[in-house]
Amino acid sequence: MIDLSSIAAGLGGRPVAVFGLGLSGLATVSAFVRAGVSVTAWDDDETKRTQAASEGATISNLALADLSGFAMLVVAPGIPLTHPEPHVVVARAQDAGVEILGDVELLHRVHHGRKTIGITGTNGKSTTTALIGHILNAGGVTASVGGNIGRAALDIELPPKDGVIVLELSSYQLDLCPTFAPDIGVHMNLTPDHLDRHGDMAGYAAAKMRIFRGAGAAIIGVDDEPSRAMFKQVQDTGDRDVYAISVVNAVERGVYVSNGVLFDCMDGEAREIGSVSALTTLPGVHNHQNICAAYIATRLSGLDADTIMNAIKTYPGLPHRQFMTRVINGVAYVNDSKATNADATAKALVCYRNICWIVGGKPKDGGLNGLEPFMDRVRKAFVIGAAMDDFCKWLDNHGVEYVRSETLDRAVNDAHITAQAARGEPGGAGVVLLSPACASFDQFRSFEHRGDEFTKMVMALPEGDKA
């Protein structure tokens, strides 16, 4: 856990308020209490309040409290700051002139002296973060990985002075970082998401741009228009060394993939590094973008190309991101529960054919729009959750067969029966793919919970007839 004593020393004995007691909130409570700071905390969930109390926090409803005496309000990333309107606790803190920030900002203010790599983007940031951490550790550079993946920012262990901190950062987390400036900032892509929290694409892009505050290096995907605009903006400031990544075109300075081959032109001259097309734990063109970003970040951290490529080949993959759960009689069962929007699902659909597609949940803006080019890959869709009626209409309009499965357990069973029965048909064995293109909160606690339930259901399926 991160030692916050240096921050505590500057508080003048004033207490700290913590609102939202998920992983990051509880870690914040624990870190401040260990540093001798008085902490008042609140969450609507009684179980989480009990956990915070056991860590030494005073429990009080911050929506009713006088916040003027607090040194700061540390809020969970899920708490609205501006849109659709500020949460009442946020508004009260603003009125009282209390600084509002998040746990990543606190980590930055410790002045720990370690190189920090921050990764953001609509899609691909978790895989890229995990891949960077894997490559660094495999290459002999100790890396601590956390943030929006795995451990909370204040719950990581500081690596040695020559080590690296690798943080996945959502737009919500970046909104809570008034001064955080990673040594290497990575932005993968930008497609419409979380617009209810940011107001519009401009607000969403502005949140992502925070990762490029200050000096250092910037690695930016340039395969979508909003990200190209961000690239130009960062380049024009001149504050950071800027590298482009692409899986569509060659780039002048950066890394790109063409026909499955990785090219390094970080120094301005393209050099063939090797093939990335047959990596089973990093399937699809979208993962080529993740590889490009990880390659540059780890090269800038001191590793050579051979070391990086050898480490990439041993990457084990991440759960819930096109994770091969099981193969039954030649039919693959793939958990892509992390695909919470259409753009993420497109990256899975393009990798397979003869797909029995489990789709649905709590819908995002735009629904399934944009997935039209991939529908010829879908044998049948199995629709679940709050999006079911709208998604079934969309599938009807695009000539895709579907089953109204309603719940995940029914969908897994329906898809299993269909996929196993179709093994002898043209095209052969296919894929049962959970790639919902939706948030999970209508039926599950999180995308991880949804993916874990899918895995349990798939592992319980019978082998059946192998003929």
Residue-wise pLDDT for 30-39, tens only, equals: 999 999 999 9
Mean pLDDT, to the nearest integer, of 92-110? 98
Mean pLDDT, to the nearest integer, of 88-115? 97
Mean pLDDT, to the nearest integer, of 388-393? 98
Nearest residue to 305 (alpha-carbon basis) of 249, 277, 265, 248: 265
Which runs of E-coded beta strand occur in 95-221? Answer: 99-101, 115-120, 143-147, 164-168, 184-187, 216-221
Mean pLDDT, to the nearest integer, of 381-401? 98
pLDDT at 404 over 50: yes
Domains of the chain, start order: 5-101 (3.40.50.720), 108-312 (3.40.1190.10), 323-459 (3.90.190.20)
Mean pLDDT, to the nearest integer, of 63-92? 93
**pLDDT value of position 424:** 64
**pLDDT value of position 318:** 84
Mean pLDDT, to the nearest integer, of 225-236? 95
Per-residue pLDDT band at 467 (split at 50, 70, 90): very low
pLDDT, tens digit, for every residue of 237-257?
A: 999 999 999 999 999 999 999
How much is the pTM? 0.82
Runs of H (alpha helix) within 361-407? 388-397
Nearest residue to 124 (alpha-carbon basis) of 365, 453, 344, 422: 344
Q: Any bridge partners for residue 362, and if so which? A: 439
Mean pLDDT, to the nearest integer, of 17-31? 97
Counting residues of the chain whose pLDDT is more than 70, the rounded percentage is 96
pLDDT, tens digit, for every residue of 5-15?
A: 999 999 999 99
Task: Report how far residue 458's alpha carbon sits from residue 390's, in angstroms, rounded to the nearest whole number.
Answer: 27
On whether the CB atoms of residues 430 and 356 are closer than 8 A, the answer is: yes
pLDDT, tens digit, for every residue of 116-135?
A: 999 999 888 999 999 999 99
pLDDT at 165 over 50: yes
Per-residue pLDDT band at 207 (split at 50, 70, 90): confident
pLDDT at 200 over 90: no
Distance from chain centroid for Cα 443: 20
Per-residue pLDDT band at 194 (split at 50, 70, 90): low
pLDDT at 196 over 80: no
**pLDDT value of position 387:** 98
| Residue whose pair of structure tokens reads 């008042």 in the numeric block | 40
**pLDDT value of position 426:** 58
On whether the CB atoms of residues 73 and 67 are closer than 8 A, the answer is: yes
Measure the N-to-C terminal CA separation of the chain; round to a whole number of Å: 54
Counting residues of the chain whose pLDDT is more than 90, the rounded percentage is 85
Mean pLDDT, to the nearest integer, of 263-280? 95
- Give the list of residues 6+ apart from residue 382 with CB closer than 8 angstroms, or none: 356, 357, 358, 359, 402, 403, 405, 410, 411, 414, 415, 418
**pLDDT value of position 78:** 82
Task: Report how far residue 373's alpha carbon sits from residue 345's, in angstroms, rounded to the nearest whole number.
Answer: 12
Paired tokens of 197: 């929290």
Would you state the torsion angle of the CA atoms of residues 449, 450, 456, 460, taken in this order, to the nearest 10 degrees? Answer: 160
Q: Which residues are annotated as a binding site?
A: 121-127
Per-residue pLDDT band at 183 (split at 50, 70, 90): very high
**pLDDT value of position 411:** 98
Q: Which residues are annotated as a binding site for ATP?
A: 121-127
| 432 phi and psi angles, rounded to 5 deg | -95, 115
| pLDDT greater at residue 77 or residue 203 | 77
pLDDT at 226 over 50: yes
**Poorest-confidence range of 49-53, 200-204, 355-359, 459-463?**
200-204
pLDDT at 300 over 50: yes
Q: Side chain identity at 425, as an amino acid letter?
A: E
Per-residue pLDDT band at 391 (split at 50, 70, 90): very high
| Residue whose pair of structure tokens reads 């499955």 in the numeric block | 260
SS3 288: helix
SS3 380: strand
Mean pLDDT, to the nearest integer, of 390-399? 98
Task: Report how far residue 448's alpha carbon sits from residue 450's, in angstroms, rounded to the nearest whole number.
Answer: 5
Mean pLDDT, to the nearest integer, of 35-45? 98
